[in-house]
Amino acid sequence: NPSNLQMEENSGLSRVNCRAKGGSPGFKVAILGAAGGIGQPLAMLMKMNPLVSVLHLYDVVNTPGVTADISHMDTGAVVRGFLGQQQLGDALTGMDLVIIPAGVPRKPGMTRDDLFNINAGIVRTLCEGIAKCCPKAIVNLISNPVNSTVPIAAEVFKKAGSYDPRRLLGVTMLDVVRANTFAAEVLGLDPRAVDVPVVGGHAGVTILPLLSQAKPSCSFTPKEVDDLTDRIQNGGTEVVEAKAGAGSATLSMAYAAVKFADACLRALRGDAGVVECAYVASEVTELPFFASKVRIGRTGIEEIYALGPLNEYERVGLEKAKKELAASIQKGVAFVRK
Ligand code: NAD
Ligand code: LMR
């Protein structure tokens, strides 16, 4: 029945259950917004992840085609597609990890906050579904403005009585990916060898790269620090302008989302020492949400690390970041409480 589309591809659930019972890892992952610019390559990369046994693809348009296409890949995960809000519950039931790239992207001249009016409502509806159907799932929230959508998700979960701050993570991995790439360019190193923590939030001055803590330990000139900080803070805008109206970062974001989701799944499996930057409920500053390094484990976030020593440049940046972040958090909270 095409009006009640629910595709099940590959071998069916029984074999998956056997495998899971056999003790080999296999997690159930849903992507909400799976037919979009990020969603499609993200779905492809998650289908390639050996830690995924079941992959649910949900969107309000085009999931039949994306699901049929992805399902032909000869990897282990069973793929099912879900179309439209009446199938949201089925898409979410039983999921271990929910990744949310649903919502509209920027066009040149817009800030991420300009997306609030449309995306806030989308995130609220999707999170109401999560609270109802998979309240124990880990949530990776990508939809912008992340600085406000994560507080929105937290408020929705609180209202539903299911809020566990350890399980809600705003995805800022793309800022780290960019920081590593751009710093490596300056240092003449392989980006895979570089690790730059990025803290704060995910918009403009709230994106605070801590270049003084870059690994391997290195020193930048003041001009290099200025240029690098500016490029990392405006990396998203660089892509939006280059795409000239056709959207924002999708491919690098899908890469970053998979890197982050894979870290969450390894942590759920029980791997030790899984540490990534993410935007989470936090006491690292006086703000209720802040991005910093977090250690993820079987129950979600198990430890949030302090910022460590900052230099004067970073201390000034932190004050600017906190001012903007406070307003964005407040806006998100007010949207649900109003
Ligand atoms: P897109 O327009 O290509 O795709 C968005 C998808 O969401 C579409 O398929 C659309 O149908 C779907 N959608 C809309 N409303 C929905 C709903 N109610 N339920 C489920 N799906 C719904 O956009 P994109 O380029 O994939 O970007 C998606 C979001 O991710 C944007 O808000 C963008 O700003 C954000 N983003 C965040 C980061 C980050 O670092 N966190 C990076 C890049 C983009
Ligand atoms: C990004 O950093 O690329 C995303 O937040 C998308 C955007 O609007 O810049």
Residue 248 alpha carbon to ligand 2 centre in Å:
6
How many other CB atoms sit within 10 Å of the CB of residue 247? 16
Model ipTM?
0.99
Q: Which residue has the tokens 């539903």?
A: 160
Contact call for residues 91 and 30 (beta carbons, < 8 A) = yes
Supply the pLDDT for residue 198: 98
Mean pLDDT lowest for which of 16-30, 69-83, 198-212? 16-30
Supply the pLDDT for residue 22: 40
Mean predicted confidence (pLDDT) in 271-281: 98
Supply the pLDDT for residue 186: 98
Question: Does ligand 1 lie within 6 Å of residue 37's CB atom?
Answer: yes
Mean predicted confidence (pLDDT) in 80-96: 98
Per cent of the chain over pLDDT 90 is: 92
Residue 106 alpha carbon to ligand 2 centre in Å:
7
Nearest atom in ligand 2 to 249's CA:
3
Is the pLDDT score of 10 beyond 50? no
Is the pLDDT score of 326 beyond 80? yes
> In angstroms, what CA-CA distances link 56 with 72, 96, 100, 256, 276?
15, 11, 12, 19, 25
Mean predicted confidence (pLDDT) in 76-94: 98
Residue 179: exposure state from Cβ atoms within 10 A (0-12, 13-18, ≥19):
buried
Name the residue at shortest CA distance from atom 3 of ligand 2. 236
Looking at every residue in the chain, the average pLDDT score rounds to: 94
Instruction: Return the ligand number nearest the Cα of 146.
Output: 1
Reference 59, options 96, 19, 102; nearest CA is 102
Mean predicted confidence (pLDDT) in 116-141: 98
* Distance from chain centroid for Cα 158: 20
Supply the pLDDT for residue 12: 36
Which amino acid appears at position 312 of this protein? E
Mean predicted confidence (pLDDT) in 172-200: 98
What is the 3 state secondary structure string of the chain? CHHHCEEECCCCHHHHHHHHHCCCCCEEEEEECCCCCCHHHHHHHHHCCCCEEEEEEEECCCHHHHHHHHHCCCCCCEEEEEECHHHHHHHHCCCCEEEECCCCCCCCCCCHHHHHHHHHHHHHHHHHHHHHHCCCCEEEECCCCHHHHHHHHHHHHHHHCCCCHHHEEECCHHHHHHHHHHHHHHHCCCHHHCECCEEECCCHHHEEECHHHCECCCCCCHHHHHHHHHHHHCHHHHHHHHHCCCCCCCHHHHHHHHHHHHHHHHHHHCCCCEEEEEEEECCCCCCCEEEEEEEEECCEEEEECCCCCCCHHHHHHHHHHHHHHHHHHHHHHHHHHC
Contact call for residues 123 and 129 (beta carbons, < 8 A) = no
Contact call for residues 115 and 105 (beta carbons, < 8 A) = yes
Greater confidence, 5 or 159? Answer: 159
- Catalytic residue positions? 202
* Distance from chain centroid for Cα 162: 20
Name the residue at shortest CA distance from atom 2 of ligand 1. 104
Name the residue at shortest CA distance from atom 9 of ligand 2. 236
pLDDT band at 21 (very low <50, low <70, confident <90, very high): very low
Question: Does ligand 2 lie within 6 Å of residue 178's CB atom?
Answer: no
Contact call for residues 198 and 175 (beta carbons, < 8 A) = yes
Mean predicted confidence (pLDDT) in 44-56: 98
**pLDDT digit string (tens) for 197-256?**
999 999 999 999 999 999 999 999 999 999 999 999 999 999 999 999 999 999 999 999
Supply the pLDDT for residue 43: 98
**pLDDT digit string (tens) for 244-272?**
999 999 999 999 999 999 999 999 999 99
Residue 84 alpha carbon to ligand 1 centre in Å:
15
Name the residue at shortest CA distance from atom 5 of ligand 2. 236
How many other CB atoms sit within 10 Å of the CB of residue 174? 24
Mean predicted confidence (pLDDT) in 289-311: 98
Best of 144, 171, 172 for a ligand 1 pocket test (most atoms within 8 Å of beta carbon):
144
Supply the pLDDT for residue 25: 61
Token pair, residue 319, equals 């004050």
Reference 209, options 285, 271, 277, 147; nearest CA is 277
